[in-house]
Amino acid sequence: MLKNFLPDQHVKTVFEVTPELLKEQGVKGIITDLDNTLVEWDRPHATPQLIKWFEELKMSDIKVTIVSNNNESRVRAFSDPLNIPFIYQARKPMGRAFKRALREMNLTQKETVVIGDQLLTDVLGGNRSGFNTILVVPVAQTDGFMTRFNRKIERRILNWFRKKGMISWED
């Protein structure tokens, strides 16, 4: 059961997930969370560095879909200027939005990774749906109410993994 919370990879930022590394792994698509994965939860638009990352992915023919539990206006305001497809109110960790993103990108689970900052939504949902998962360190140290609650549970799970020798990275 707890293994569903174990990401396949861990990185400090999405910028460590390069098109070259993805291509080596046979990855053709990314399903990514938005808030505290790509930008701070209260930042409305992409940073210049993030825009460049998206352009590099596009030039490498790697598709991206943003899958967020947030509302339509938040996700649309971020995604539309970048011309990136999105799914809002995804209800992660439920699998429906992950499967929908996969269909819309016309890819398989083996060709797609899920990137996110939360074990209880992104990693659990991605793992249960059969994807490789990448956990990123949250870009902001502050969170909304529900996310703060989730982070307390995540710390316990990560400590358990660490004690069992299942993970070796530092917070």
User: pLDDT for 5-57, tens place per residue?
Assistant: 999 999 999 999 999 999 999 999 999 999 999 999 889 999 999 999 999 99
Domain with 132, as residue range(s), is 2-163
Residue-level pLDDT at 142:
64
User: pLDDT for 117-152, tens place per residue?
Assistant: 999 999 999 999 999 999 999 997 766 666 677 778
| 158 has pLDDT over 90 | no
Tokens standing for residue 96? 């429906």
| 141 is a domain residue | yes
Q: What residues have CB less than 8 Å from 43, skipping those under 6 apart?
A: none
| 170 is a domain residue | no
Site of tokens 């990855």: 27
User: pLDDT for 64-113, tens place per residue?
Assistant: 999 999 999 999 999 999 999 999 999 999 999 999 999 999 999 999 99
| 72 is a domain residue | yes
Q: Do residues 147 and 36 touch, judged by C-beta distance below 8 A?
A: yes
Residue-level pLDDT at 152:
82
| 69 is a domain residue | yes
| 171 has pLDDT over 70 | no
Q: Say which CATH number the domain at 148 has.
A: 3.40.50.1000
| 169 is a domain residue | no
| 144 is a domain residue | yes
Count of the separate structural domains present in the chain = 1
Three-state DSSP state, 158: helix
Q: Do residues 137 and 117 touch, judged by C-beta distance below 8 A?
A: yes
| 99 is a domain residue | yes
| 25 is a domain residue | yes
